[in-house]
Amino acid sequence: MISMECPSMNQELFKQGAEARIYKSSIFNKPCIVKERFLKCYRHPTLHKKLSDKRMIQEARSLVRCHTIGVRTPLVYHTDLDTHKLYLELLPHPLLNDLISSLEAREQQSADITDTIRDVGRQIALMHDNDVIHGDLTTLNILVDIKSGDSYFIDFGLSSVSSLSEDKAVDLYVLERAITSSHPKMSQLFTDILTSYAQYSSKTAKTLNKLKEVRQRGRKRIMIG
Amino acid sequence: MSIAIGFEGSANKLGIGIIRDGVILSNLRCTYITPPGHGFQPKFTAIHHRSEIIDLLQRSLKTAGVDPKDISCVCYTKGPGMGAPLVSVAVVARTLSQLWGKPLVGVNHCIAHIEMGRHVTGASDPTVLYVSGGNTQVIAYSNRKYRIFGETIDIAVGNCLDRFARVIKLSNDPSPGYNIEQLAKQGNRYLELPYSVKGMDVAFSGITSHIESVAVKAMESGEYTKADLCFSLQETIFAMLVEVTERAMAHTGSQEVLIVGGVGCNERLQDMMRQMCNERGAKLCATDERYCIDNGAMIAHTGLEMFKCGVTTELKDSWCTQRYRTDEVDILWRD
Ligand SMILES: Nc1ncnc2c1ncn2[C@@H]1O[C@H](COP(=O)(O)OP(=O)(O)O)[C@@H](O)[C@H]1O
Ligand SMILES: [Mg+2]
């Protein structure tokens, strides 16, 4: 992993993510975002370093890998492992989550984002065909270019490389749960994503079968008070 | 004015609580404690509950100063939980309902923890971490249901702690988790353990088997003390729980965290959660052992909320169920 001296930059807090803080900045005269895995006081320092190192490296690797295979992701401009900062291309697009919420609020059907939903299914299939497991597929980690309807994938900190259909199925299951718990009225969207996922390539059939198994396991989980 | 009596016995705690419109009149508990190295078996737990319940009932009525004729409904835990203990308590609730001529209300144990937590802390719309011997879930309310954002994909966090306590032969009195917490305060050498977070889900069985295999060796060689291992286990599993709670907060957008369930009274877990909340400008709502640990008042409180919305359980439907998911219940009393 390359680590150069931190380029001078002025930062403004842009988003507080699920794990990291995102700042807007610029690098090489281009606007960028800086994803910082800041020190979490609650976490033991040894554990914190282990997790932050691993996730940042994994995120950078998977972003590059996705870019190579043609999954839409932000470009990686620079990495700084000492400060746990990733410098990424700024994608000036809204979150899929916010688009769904606004549809939900207007009690509209998903017609507006049909193309996007199809694209999401295709992109995930493309990732999986290349053995990239995202690890945190949620609607907060997908950005949508409204004009073109194209979807972009971010947040690969929990990603891994695996050819197992089990891992791919769990990836889909995470997305299903995120959609049904955050947008209970819009669960049809996940079905639409799966339809497009299935159409993408013949390899996806195995994963979809496995998904049924993974779901069953979830429901059968014993719960004792 | 409405008064409810609640019966809880889904695990090794037998509890009876009496509530008048949110005011707790009594909340007594009696715990089945096994010797070090042993867990509680359903059969013997049920025997414990059966032998204690009548005495506990009499003391509860006396403490609350309530006459059965003033009670509006008899509430009991329908599930989830261990079959035999659940049934041993439901039988009593059913009988009293017949005897006193009062309607019966079957309550979901997990929902009761959440509602009691909200009631005691005043949290309005929190992201909830529910952690106990049998459950580990991250939950938030929307659209008439408590939705599960994340959960354990294998064993519950309390189960992980209990098993570890058995391996190192800690006392089960008052609870294995409490003794791990106390011992951990003297530990400081951190042993790295597997850390397993998938999206908003967690897994503990890998940690359990890992620490079980290294624990004995590490202690024998003197490299790590019992206290160090308790410390390392807590630091690792609580970090996982705080992390998935934080991940769920990004989805819910909520600025309150409520911790409920037996493991929730662990002060180290509360401290860690509070620090995470501070970093996000959020607020932690936690309760002490009176309400975190299984109790009858939470069943009475939630049953009364249901009763006020017109929910009662007919005698023929008054069975128990070991599996009863949090997101199955319609939450009629919230907007
Ligand atoms: N390259 C990017 N361009 C624009 N916005 C981004 C970009 N990366 C992240 N964001 C925004 O920041 C939020 C958090 O980033 P993310 O990588 O998901 O961090 P976390 O792991 O903390 O969730 C995202 O939900 C998104 O709104
Ligand atoms: Mg994210």
Peptide bond into A31 cis (omega under 30): no
Confidence tier at A141 by pLDDT (50, 70, 90): very high
Structure tokens at A206: 């195995």
Residue A112 banded pLDDT, cuts 50, 70, 90: confident
pLDDT value at A221 more than 90: no
Average model confidence (pLDDT) for chain A?
90
Number of Cβ within 10 Å of residue B281's Cβ equals 8
pLDDT band at A223 (very low <50, low <70, confident <90, very high): low
pLDDT the model gives residue A53: 97
On average, the pLDDT of chain B sits at 95
The domain made up of B125-289 has a fold known as: Nucleotidyltransferase; domain 5 (3.30.420)
User: What number of other Cβ atoms are within 10 A of residue B81's Cβ?
Assistant: 31
pLDDT, mean of residues B22-47:
95
Q: What is the pLDDT of residue A4?
A: 38
Using the predicted structure, report yes or no on whether residue B99 has a pLDDT greater than 80. Answer: yes
- pLDDT above 90: residue B91: yes
Contact A184 B145 (CB under 8 A): yes
| Per-residue pLDDT band at A109 (split at 50, 70, 90) | low
Percent share of chain A, pLDDT over 70: 90
Q: Which residues of B touch A174 (CB under 8 A)?
A: 198-201
Q: Where are the alpha helices (DSSP H) in chain B?
A: 42-64, 83-100, 109-121, 157-167, 176-184, 205-220, 226-252, 267-280, 289-292, 296-308
Q: How distant, in Å, are the alpha carbons of A146, A195, B74, B201 from that of A113?
A: 9, 15, 50, 28
Place of tokens 């009149």: B25
Assess whether pLDDT exceeds 50 at residue B73. Answer: yes
Q: Which fold has domain A12-89?
A: Phosphorylase Kinase; domain 1 (3.30.200)
Q: Nearest by CB to A174, which of B135, B198, B246? A: B198
Per CB-CB distance under 8 Å, the chain A contacts of B82 are 224
Contacts of A219 in chain B (CB under 8 A): 325
Which DSSP symbol is given to A11?
-
With CB atoms and an 8 Å threshold, state whether B279 touches A40: yes
Report the pLDDT averaged over residues B322-333. Answer: 94
Amino acid code (one letter) for A80: D
pLDDT of residue A111: 63
Widest CA span of chain B, in angstroms? Answer: 64
Q: How far apart are the first and last CA of chain A?
A: 47
Q: Model confidence at B153, in pLDDT bands (50, 70, 90)?
A: confident
- pLDDT(A5) > 60: no
Closest CA relative to residue B20, chosen from B79, B69, B70, B57: B70
Q: Which pLDDT score is estimated for A110? A: 58
Mean pLDDT within B144-172: 93
Overall average pLDDT of the A119-147 stretch: 97
Name which residue sits closest to atom 25 of ligand 1, judged by CA: A140
> Does B120 score more than 80 pLDDT?
yes
Look at the domain B3-113+291-328 and name its fold: Nucleotidyltransferase; domain 5 (3.30.420)
Ligand 1 center to residue A149 CA distance, Å? 19
Q: Is A19's CB within 8 Å of B322's CB? A: no
Would the CB atoms of A140 and B109 count as touching at under 8 Å? no
Q: How far is the CA of A19 from the centre of ligand 1 (A)?
A: 10
Q: How far is the CA of A22 from the centre of ligand 2 (A)?
A: 10
Domains B3-113+291-328 and B125-289 share a fold: yes
Dist CA A87 CA A8 (whole Å)? 12
Ligand nearest the Cα atom of residue A143: 1
Give residue limits of the domains in chain A.
12-89, 96-224
Max Cα-Cα span within chain A: 57
Q: Does B169 touch chain A (CB under 8 A)?
A: no
Which residues form the pocket of ligand 1, taking CB atoms under 6 Å from any ligand atom? Answer: A 15, 17-20, 22, 33, 35, 74, 88-91, 95, 140-141, 154-155, 157; B 250
Q: Which of B13, B243, B330 to mutate to test the interface with A (most CBs of A within 10 A)?
A: B243
Q: Which of B35-39, B117-121, B254-258, B273-277 has the lowest mean pLDDT?
A: B35-39
Considering only the beta carbons, identify the residue of A16, A50, A136 that sits closest to B199.
A136
Q: Where in chain B are the domains?
A: 3-113+291-328, 125-289
- What is the mean predicted confidence (pLDDT) over A31-35? 96
A119 is catalytic: no
Judged against a pLDDT cut of 90, whether residue B79 lies above it is answered with yes
For the segment A60-73, the average pLDDT, to the nearest whole number, is 98
| ipTM given for this complex | 0.90
pLDDT at residue A108, rounded to an integer: 63
The whole-number pLDDT of residue A106 equals: 81
Tens digit of each residue's pLDDT (9 = 90 or more) over A142-201: 999 999 999 999 999 999 999 999 999 999 999 999 999 889 889 999 999 999 999 998
Structure tokens at A60: 């950078």
CB contact under 8 A, B192 and A182: no
Give yes or no for a contact between A50 and B232, defined as CB atoms under 8 angstroms apart.
no
The pLDDT assigned to B216 comes to 79
More confident residue, A201 or B234: B234
Superfamily of domain A96-224, CATH level 4: Transferase(Phosphotransferase) domain 1 (1.10.510.10)
Reported confidence tier of residue B138, pLDDT bands at 50, 70, 90: very high
Q: Check pLDDT > 60 for residue B320.
A: yes
Mean pLDDT of B91-110: 98
